[in-house]
A and B are shown apart, each in its own frame.
Chain A
Amino acid sequence: MTPARYRDGARRIAPIAVAAFAFAVSFGVLARASGIGAGETIVMSATVFAGSAQFAIVSILAVGGGIASAILAAILLNARYAPISVSVAPIFLGSRLRRLLESQLIVDESWAMSRHSDGRYDRRLLVGAGLILYACWVGGTVIGALAGEALGDPADLGLDAAFPALFLAILVTQVHSRRALAAAVLGGTIALALIPVAPAGVPIVAAAAACLLGWKRP
């Protein structure tokens, strides 16, 4: 097998990048409609680069929820990136600065897409996919923030169902062992149980604890 190239990551993420672009446009529109300036809206997409956290910030600020609760909700939603970044830590190479910069391209979709079915992660796939997603996310936000509601609601096109379908398709390629299946079932169950009782973001982070099934005595 020839090693993957950045272009392979970009190509594989293309269908999801289309959905991400549509959501970025709707984020731009929603943020402007909530009274947030175009500059702030675009800078938020360029620096936070995490859809669910950004939608949470806008919806909390729009109802006057206060900056503390907006910050807390967004950080809870992004807390999953700590275990996610640990899982891909060994693939990043070079200086600390380079690893810091490339790690910013980790989003749910680029991370999931960069995992081979044998469980190894591929840095080029992650970086290639991450760059395309970043361009679509920031570009879509610019269009939404400046041009208004040209595209309609992405939910009408069922695009909100595209993301979990992607994660499921990748998940089934990963479950080779009884232990991996047990971790998936336990993780999904923890998330389901916590959705009604915990703030958004917490169910995903708590589900990461299912990985402890892999603990071996040192």
Chain B
Amino acid sequence: MTEVWIVIGAVAAATVALKAVGPVLLGERPLPDHLTGVVALLAPALLAALVVTQVVGGDEEIVLDARLVGLGAAVVAILLRAPILAVVAAAAAATALVRLVA
């Protein structure tokens, strides 16, 4: 199946370039002052987007399912100041439980 190899080659090359764009092109040079504030906010913006897309994201639709219960359990664990391992475990366990009984 040469088609698959073409896809792998193209996507691998693109992904290598996307991941290297900052470290290779910008390198160790510090960012100009007016951009440091912008780059500092990339993390909260992207993390929030990752949470949203992974909890309610479907195939071009919003899907509300057991993942939401898992996120609720994670919120409770975070409020209780649980370590990250416990937060992740609570989310997985709550989601699995809902799927088991549903």
Q: Which residues of A contact B (CB under 8 A)?
A: 12, 15-16, 19, 35-37, 40, 43-44, 47-50, 53, 57, 61, 67, 70-71, 74-75, 78-90, 92-93, 96, 99-100, 102-104, 106, 108, 112, 115, 119, 155-172, 174-175, 179-181, 183-188, 190-192, 195-200, 203-204, 207-218
Interface size band for B: 35 or more
Nearest-CB residue, chain B, relative to A171: B47
User: Which single member of B1, B42, B95 contacts A211 (CB below 8 Å)?
Assistant: B42
Residues of chain B contacted by A192 (CB below 8 angstroms): 52, 56, 62
Question: Contacts A89-B27, A168-B71; is A83 near B44 (CB within 8 Å)?
Answer: no
Chain B residues closer than 8 Å to A106, beta-carbon distance: 19
User: Could you list which residues of chain B lie within 8 angstroms of chain A, going by C-beta atoms?
Assistant: 1, 3-8, 10-12, 14-16, 18-34, 36-62, 66-67, 70-71, 73-75, 77-78, 84-85, 87-97, 99-100
Task: Check A191–B52 contact: CB distance below 8 A.
Answer: yes
Nearest 10 Cβ contacts at the A-B interface: A161-B70, A158-B95, A187-B45, A214-B37, A165-B91, A207-B49, A89-B22, A158-B96, A85-B22, A188-B48
Given A83-B42, A90-B26, A218-B32, A158–B92 Cβ distance below 8 Å? yes
Min CB distance A3 to B, Å, is: 18
Given contact pairs A67-B7, A166-B87, A210 touches B45 in the complex (Cβ within 8 A) = yes
CA distance A90 to B14 in the complex (A): 22
Residues in A with CB closer than 8 Å to B59 are 200
A87–B22 CB distance below 8 A: yes
B15 in contact with A78 (CB, 8 Å): yes
Q: Min CB distance, B48 to chain A, in Å?
A: 4
Complex CA gap A15/B43 in Å reads 22
Q: A86-B42, A99-B23, A168-B71 are in contact. Are A40 and B5 (CB under 8 A)?
A: yes
Would you give 6 A-B contacts (Cβ < 8 Å), ordered by A?
A: A87-B22, A88-B23, A99-B24, A161-B92, A161-B94, A163-B50
